[in-house]
Amino acid sequence: MIRLLLSNNQNMFTRSKQNPILKPNPKNTWEAEKLYNSGAIFFDGKYHLFYRAVGKGTDWKSAIGYAVSRDGENFQRFDTPLLFGETESEKRGLEDPRITKIGDTFYMAYAAYDGVTPRLCVATSLDLKVWEKQCPVFFDWNFKKAGGVYLEWDEEGELHEKEKFSEWSKSGGIFPEKVNGKYLMLFGEYRIWFAESDDGIHWIGDQSPFLEPREGDYFDNAFVEMGPPPIRTEKGWLVLYHGINQQHCYKIGFLLLDLVDPKKILYRSDKPIFEPEKDYEMSGIVDVLPGGLSALQKMSDKELKNFLAEAEKKGIMPRVTFCCGAVVIGDTLRIYYGASDSVICTASASLSDILKSADI
């Protein structure tokens, strides 16, 4: 049974005073425009971030950059991308990496984007520095047949359902251990699905959504999207996910799943535990503005500035805190999130306080 308990658990996290901790670097063309949506892992005494960077140019191509830190807030970054698009299916780049370690192998789930369709992919590494790209994870998974629903907001801020391509897949969080002999993953935008694998590379996606939006005055009443990889806790698998409401605000809620049978939901938060409230989270070059990046990248600097100002004036600017990475050290849960699809920020909360709020 899913337990929904009324609570007042919004913004359980404390933001870093150094936010934003990473910004676009105009000296590096490949990361000069936008920096956001970073996967994260703590390994060998260091925090490792793998972030999405968008460069200058006519196509605003995404690459994956790499940064390391001893304290989780002050990062050393590198002048060249760790991974970048090379094939036709990657011609608009690689997006939103999430990192998981199973045994001696690190798995990076990311989306390869050809300018029309994102396809979920996996890369593997033994040292976090040298990565081998694998094939797209799905062979024949169909977004629409599996219950996928594609949504867009128009220029007046109204939400509409639209037809979309069958291969639409992204936002994959791989569990950090096998469950019942299988690799498991939660993935998806608009809806969230389960997938399983024998090798961590080739995956079979479920044919019906695991998690859907809720009707009513909920923070996730428009659609849901997967967050970081699940986290094992004493109360169950902690799954952070994005809930998007009719006002186009991205907030973070959570699930607790049974450790033995992860498809059994023990708890779903009725309120978010983190949401936009700071200036750097309330406006920027947000990908999901009407027209999307394909429209925004065609604008001159002046046109883009005017467009963003008009979106603010009309009240249709999306509010975005988007988390692909989370690290647990002791009782501290530290998240790394993209603010307004423009910069990288971090915030921390007590893991035990989050679990207590579930009251199970």
CATH of residue 134 = 2.115.10.20
Q: State yes or no: pLDDT of 291 exceeds 50.
A: yes
| Number of domains present in the structure of the chain | 1
Lowest mean pLDDT: which of 88-97, 151-160, 181-190, 314-323?
151-160
Q: State yes or no: pLDDT of 4 exceeds 60.
A: no
pLDDT digit string, tens, across residues 255-267: 999 999 999 999 9
- Residue 353 Cα to chain centre, angstroms: 23
Report residue 305's pLDDT band, with 50, 70 and 90 as the boundaries: confident
Distance, CA of 89 to CA of 8 (rounded, Å): 44
Supply the pLDDT for residue 137.
95
Q: State yes or no: pLDDT of 2 exceeds 80.
A: no
Assess if residue 5 is contained within a domain.
no
Q: State yes or no: pLDDT of 360 exceeds 80.
A: no
CB 276, CB 252: distance < 8 Å: no
- Report the mean per-residue pLDDT for the chain: 93
Supply the pLDDT for residue 165.
73
Report residue 1's pLDDT band, with 50, 70 and 90 as the boundaries: very low
pLDDT digit string, tens, across residues 109-155: 999 999 999 999 999 999 999 999 998 999 889 999 999 999 988 88
Supply the pLDDT for residue 5.
37
Supply the pLDDT for residue 56.
82
Look up residue 106 and give its DSSP letter: E
Assess if residue 306 is contained within a domain.
yes
CB 239, CB 248: distance < 8 Å: no
Assess if residue 3 is contained within a domain.
no
Assess if residue 9 is contained within a domain.
no
Cβ atoms within 10 Å, residue 149:
15
Q: State yes or no: pLDDT of 59 exceeds 90.
A: no
**Strands of 105-113's sheet, edge to edge?**
94-102, 105-113, 118-125, 132-136
pLDDT digit string, tens, across residues 147-188: 999 998 888 888 889 887 788 999 999 999 999 999 999 999
At position 217, the amino acid (one-letter code) is: D
| Residue range of the domain that includes 282 | 14-358
CB 190, CB 151: distance < 8 Å: yes
Assess if residue 263 is contained within a domain.
yes
SS3 of residue 157 by DSSP? coil
Assess if residue 6 is contained within a domain.
no
Supply the pLDDT for residue 131.
97
Supply the pLDDT for residue 6.
35
3-state per-residue secondary structure call for 235-248: CEEEEEEEEECCCC
pTM of the model: 0.94
Supply the pLDDT for residue 9.
57
Assess if residue 287 is contained within a domain.
yes
pLDDT digit string, tens, across residues 188-229: 999 999 999 999 999 999 999 999 999 999 999 999 999 999
Report residue 10's pLDDT band, with 50, 70 and 90 as the boundaries: low
Distance, CA of 204 to CA of 201 (rounded, Å): 10
Supply the pLDDT for residue 359.
79
Query: In the chain, what's the furthest Cα-to-Cα distance?
Result: 55
Distance, CA of 196 to CA of 192 (rounded, Å): 14
Mean pLDDT in residue range 60-77? 97
Percentage of residues of the chain with pLDDT beyond 70: 97
Distance, CA of 157 to CA of 147 (rounded, Å): 24
CB-based burial of residue 67 (10 Å sphere; 0-12 exposed, 13-18 middle, 19+ buried)?
buried
